[in-house]
Amino acid sequence: MRWAGPAPSRMLRQWWLPALMSTLCAAATPGVLGAGELWSLRPPIRPAVPKVRGADWVRTPVDAFVLAELERRGLRPAPPAERATLIRRVTFDLIGLPPTPERVLKFVDDPSPTAYETLVDELLASPQYGERWARHWLDAARYADSGGYETDIYYKNAWRYRDYVVQSLNADKPYDRFVREQIAGDELFPSDYSLDGSYVLPAAKKRALEARTATGLYTLGPQIHESNMDGKKIRSEWLTDCADLTGSLFMGLTVGCARCHDHKSDPLTQRDYYALQAVFAPSRDTEVPIVHAMAIASHRQHYPRVLALAEALKALRAFRSRTAGRALTTAEEEERRQLSDRVTNAALEIPENIPDAPGGAWDGFYEPPSITALGHVDPALHQPVRILHRGELSRPGAVVGPALPAVFGNGREKLPDLSDEQSRRKKLALWLTRPEHPLTARVLVNRVWQWHFGRGLVETPNDFGRMGGAPSHPALLDWLATTFARPSGTAGGLGWSMKKLHSLVVLSNVYRMSSAHRDAAAERADGENKWLWKMNRRRLEGEALWDAVHAVSGTLNLKAGGRPVMPPLSEEEMTALRDRWQWVVPFDASEHRRRGLYLLVRRNFRFPLFETFDAPVNSQSCPRRDVTTVAPQALWFLNNRTSLQRAEEFAARVSRDLATAPSPAGAPDRAWIERAWRVALGRAPAAEESRTALELLNEGRRNRATVPSAEGRIALLLFNLNEFAFVD
């Protein structure tokens, strides 16, 4: 629960009345409720898998838990989805892309009893899996490549954290380690970063750098950067972000309320809140080079080339100001040409690659590649955290040492001592990732469930407190949480493996149910489908739509990772940008067709398509995206240049496909249409659809359509279908 957003009393309100809070926050005894009174703070106990009457429907324990609730309410599960529907569902769900027509046919015709298991394994092994699920995680992690507010400062290294997430998911890094690295990668894997005189980074050092990259999480939040924001205030805002993010992302607790006062509904005191800030107080963001020592030496060795460029620029600028506002003489024209050449030549002299580093390019403009990550403040300069009266920086109170919220101890366990400044985050991370921690596993399995089904078992994934929703299936949540955190090999334990968790969920019969099933009684009793008597239909996110349009057009560039991309935008799309120079279109056109995940995420300028389709603002953790339906979404697919270009490419791709795999002679148009349907929707067209498409095709030909071409119009038709944007 929060007061006015992520940082309640940044509003310096003189007339704040604590009494009013009790009406807004649910009335309760502030601060000191026993943990036993809030279900989510009780460690989960592994429940027995329930007995159900319809045992033959049960494929995995997940099914038993869901079916038990259905039976209790007299509801019946929907029949399974058809195979063509199922492959489209699970492919978008696990890798964020549509299945290829070939894979659909193979799956539909596969006689093997494990055809679906094979498909799921294949998808989970795909490098695109990490990209799809990183997008979910990055929403919750409030990821962006810039700081927001007026200046929207550019975070040149944020993408390294994004790539870390992708790689960790693809490697199926156990979730406990994933959490530990993000909170305390540097403290858990200490390394000297002096990068001794070597041409290669030792493996241990690489490992340490990877873990440290993870702490980039805490360096990419929103940041006000304007004149006269004093350092103290910036620091206080940063500590607020650290505490709030740790609470929402890992613990599913909105701790921010306690910034101003003892939490009114959850057992958190103001002291607990500042004690959590104190965990981060000895830390700060640092830039750490990630190249071997010889590269740094080489950078320094060649530095005079940068000086030469600076001098060449000075000369050109001096010339320009000397001749500003008037026509140049012939001699001056010549001088200008020479000065420009000098700049160009000096720039070209600067080495492009890092000597002896395979594939190692300098970052940006001749900068050693680096990560922005957490490190430590010089102990001599470390400022202790003070309780702020009503959250106001100008009203500091008593110093607060670092501690975990007292309620977690609650007489049961002794919470770790966090006084050592160099290991506070490490102790927090280790404490959070004990298998018996009441929140960590529950919060994660709930997020994963939501991302699979569109709705969590707890509907408020960032709030497991008293103001959050109660779990619809508490036993299932606890069974999943305990199974997830249990070491692998022990009684079905998953050892924190996300991929195993996905398998457990998507192989269930619950997941395989039809979403289009109609059942009047069930609709009356449970119109929201809280009890999962059918699968939920999902609208694709902006990024998935971007990926899908490019994938079916055969133009998707599946290159992984790297600096965020700014694809070309139309004039009108650029109007919301503060300054045009903020948008730098890559020279290499294949970069313009990268996956949506890799497009630049500016806090002040969301990519227009994504903004239209409900991309989050990223000012704070976004647990669940809105799904709106507005007219500009239709306008994008009807009229946007990218949509029209991909439509032509889609048409060309379908023709190409047919040329390489000739279809039966006689009905080339029908074959074309069928192929188009299979590529875009993964199924053959119905007779009515085929007829409609044929009409459109012939009409376009009669009108000698060019752009969009007759075939391109079929592509536009397909892009605009509800079926294209929704997954059954």
Partner 1 sequence: MKRCAGRMGAVGRREFLARAGMGFGSVALATLESERAAAAQTNPLAPRAQHVPARAKRIICLFMQGGPSQLETFDPKPELTRLNGQPLPASYRSADLNLQFMQASEGKLMGGAFPFRKCGRSGLEISELYPELGAHADDLAVIRSCYHESFIHGPALTLMQTGSLLLGHPSVGAWVTYGLGCESENLPAYLVMTDSVIRNGGSSAYGSGFLPAVYQGTLLRSEGAPIQNLSVPAGLGREEQRRLIDRIQALNRSHLAGREDDSRLSARIANYELAFRMQTAAPELMDLSEEAAATRKRYGVGEGPTDRFSKMCLLARRMVERGVRFVQLYASDWDGHGDCPGNHKGNASRTDRPIAGLLADLKDRGLLDSTLVLWVGEFGRTPVMQGDRGRDHSPYGFSCWLAGGGIRGGKVIGATDELGFRAVTDRVHVHDLHATLLSLLGLDHKRLTYPFEGRIRRLTDVGEQTDWSPILTRG
Burial environment of residue 47 by CB neighbours within 10 A (0 to 12, 13 to 18, 19 or more)? middle
- Whole-angstrom distance, CA of residue 334 vs CA of residue 133: 57
- In angstroms, rounded to a whole number, what is the distance separating the alpha carbons of residues 251 and 684? 46
The pair of three-digit structure tokens given for residue 660, joined into one six-digit string: 């390489």
Residues from 456 through 495 that contact partner 1 (CB under 8 A): 460, 462-463, 465, 467-468
Contact between 280 and 425 under an 8 Å Cβ cutoff? The reply is yes
In the complex with partner 1, the residue whose CB is nearer, 17 or 665, is 17
Stretch that binds partner 1, among 13-21, 88-96, 338-346, 415-423 (CB under 8 A): 13-21
d(CA 480, CA 465): 19
In the complex, the smallest distance separating the C-beta of residue 151 from partner 1, rounded to whole angstroms, is 8
1 part of the interface to partner 1, by CB under 8 A: yes
The answer to whether 626 contacts partner 1 (rule: CB under 8 A) is yes
Quick one: 79 or 202, whose CB is closer to partner 1? 79
Among 31, 96, 148, 596, binds partner 1 (CB under 8 A): 148
Q: Which stretch binds partner 1 (CB under 8 A): 204-212, 333-341, 367-375, 455-463?
A: 455-463
Q: Does 15 contact partner 1 by CB under 8 A?
A: yes
Confirm or reject binding of residue 636 to partner 1 (CB under 8 A): yes
CA distance 390 to 274: 12
Omega cis (within 30) before 708: yes
Nearer to partner 1 among residue 332 and residue 523 (C-beta):
523
Q: Smaller CB distance to partner 1: residue 297 or 576?
A: 576
As measured in angstroms, the least distance from the Cβ of 671 to partner 1 is 20
Segment interacting with partner 1 (CB under 8 A) among 96-104, 356-364, 398-406, 628-636: 628-636
Interactions with partner 1, residue window 291-350 (CB under 8 A): none
Contact at 8 Å (CB) between 554 and 98?
A: no
Please tell me the number of Cα atoms within 13 Å of 253 on its side-chain side. 27
Under a CB-based contact definition with an 8 Å cutoff, are residues 531 and 619 in contact? no
Asked if residue 633 binds partner 1 (CB under 8 A), the reply is yes
Q: What is the 3-state secondary structure (H, E, C) of 288-326?
A: EECCCHHHHHHHHHCHHHHHHHHHHHHHHHHHHHHCCCC
What span, in angstroms and rounded, lies between the C-alpha atoms of 273 and 31? 11
Three-state secondary structure call for residue 387:
strand
Bridge partners for 288 per DSSP: 371
* Residue closest to 597 by CA, chosen among 136, 90, 98: 136
Considering only CA atoms, which of 589, 545, 719, 543 is closest in space to residue 648?
719
Other residues' Cβ atoms within 10 Å of the Cβ of residue 327: 7
In whole angstroms, what is the distance from residue 116 CA to residue 94 CA? Answer: 13
* Contact characters 178-217, partner 1, x per CB under 8 A: ----------------------------------------
List 287, 363, 421, 523, residue binding partner 1 (CB under 8 A): 523
Q: Mapped to the 3 state alphabet, what secondary structure does 215-274 carry?
A: HHHHHCCCCCCCCCCCHHHHHHHHHHHHHHHHHHHHHCCCHHHHHCCCCCCCCCCHHHHH
Smallest gap from Cβ 262 to partner 1, in A, equals 16
Q: Are 442 and 462 in contact (CB under 8 A)?
A: no
571 binds partner 1 (CB under 8 A): yes
Q: How many CB atoms lie within 10 A of CB 80?
A: 16
Which of 103, 537, 592, 670 is the binder for partner 1 (CB under 8 A)? 537
The minimum distance between CB 707 and partner 1, in angstroms, equals: 4
- Asked if 139 is part of the footprint of partner 1 (rule: CB under 8 A), the reply reads no
- Residues numbered 94-123 forming contacts with partner 1, rule: CB under 8 A: none
Rank residues 378 and 688 by Cβ distance to partner 1 and give the closer one: 688
640 interacts with partner 1 by CB under 8 A: yes
Q: How far is the CB of 227 from partner 1 (least distance, A)?
A: 6
Selected from 105, 377, 393, 617, the binder of partner 1 by CB under 8 A is 617
Interface positions, 499-518, toward partner 1 (CB under 8 A)? 516, 518
* 74 is a site residue for partner 1 (CB under 8 A): no
User: Residue 371 has what DSSP assignment?
Assistant: E
Choice from 171, 348, 635, 661 touching partner 1 (CB under 8 A): 635
Query: Among the candidate windows 285-293, 381-389, 574-582, 587-595, which touches partner 1 by CB under 8 A?
Result: 574-582
CB of 215 closer than 8 Å to CB of 182: yes
Binding string, residues 25-44; x marks residues near partner 1 by CB under 8 A = x-------------------
- Give Cα separations from 183 to 229, 247, 370 (angstroms): 27, 12, 19
Binding mask 683-712 for partner 1 (x = CB under 8 A): ---x-xx--x--xx--x---x-xxxx----
Select from 394, 398, 414, 665 the one that contacts partner 1 (CB under 8 A).
Answer: 394
Out of 572, 585, 589, 590, point to the residue binding partner 1 (CB under 8 A).
Answer: 572
Residue by residue, DSSP assigns 274-287 as HHHHHHHTTEEEEE
Q: How many residues touch partner 1 (CB under 8 A)?
A: 104
User: Residue 45 corresponds to which amino acid?
Assistant: I
Quick one: which segment of 169-177, 293-301, 635-643, 651-659 binds partner 1 (CB under 8 A)?
Answer: 635-643
For the segment 643-662, give every residue that binds partner 1 (CB under 8 A): 644
Closer residue to partner 1 (CB): 204 or 229: 229
Strand partners, 371: 288
Q: Which is nearer to partner 1, 56 or 579 (CB)?
A: 579
CB of 47 to partner 1, least distance (A): 27
Closest CA to 483 of 442, 449, 450: 442
Would you count residue 608 as binding partner 1 (CB under 8 A)?
Answer: yes
Residue 311 beta carbon to partner 1: minimum distance, rounded to whole angstroms = 32
Of the pair 415, 652, the CB lying nearest partner 1 is at 652
Q: Which of 497, 619, 655, 663 binds partner 1 (CB under 8 A)?
A: 619
User: How many beta carbons lie within 10 A of that of residue 86, not counting itself?
Assistant: 22
Q: Which residues within the stretch 243-282 sit at the binding site for partner 1 (CB under 8 A)?
A: 254, 265
The DSSP code for 79 is: P
- Told to check if 632 binds partner 1 by CB under 8 A, we report yes
From 183, 215, 60, 65, select the one nearest 440 (Cα to Cα).
183
Q: Is 429 in the site for partner 1 (CB under 8 A)?
A: no
Q: Please, what is the minimum distance in Å from the beta carbon of residue 548 to partner 1?
A: 16
CB 198 within 8 A of CB 292: yes
Is 21 a binding residue for partner 1 by CB under 8 A? The answer is yes
Q: How far is the CB of 290 from partner 1 (least distance, A)?
A: 31
Q: Which residue, 22 or 555, has its beta carbon nearer to partner 1?
A: 22
Stretch that binds partner 1, among 16-24, 170-178, 322-330, 557-565 (CB under 8 A): 16-24
Is residue 347 exposed (0-12), middle (13-18) or buried (19+ Cβ within 10 Å)? Answer: middle
The token duo for 543 is 């990024």
Give the residue with the Cβ less far from partner 1, 163 or 266: 266
Contacts of 608 (CB under 8 A, 6+ apart): 569, 573, 576, 636
- Candidates 228, 321, 330, 660: give the one binding partner 1 (CB under 8 A): 228
CB of 614 to partner 1, least distance (A): 6
Q: Which is nearer to partner 1, 352 or 571 (CB)?
A: 571
323 burial level (CB within 10 Å; 0-12, 13-18, 19+): middle
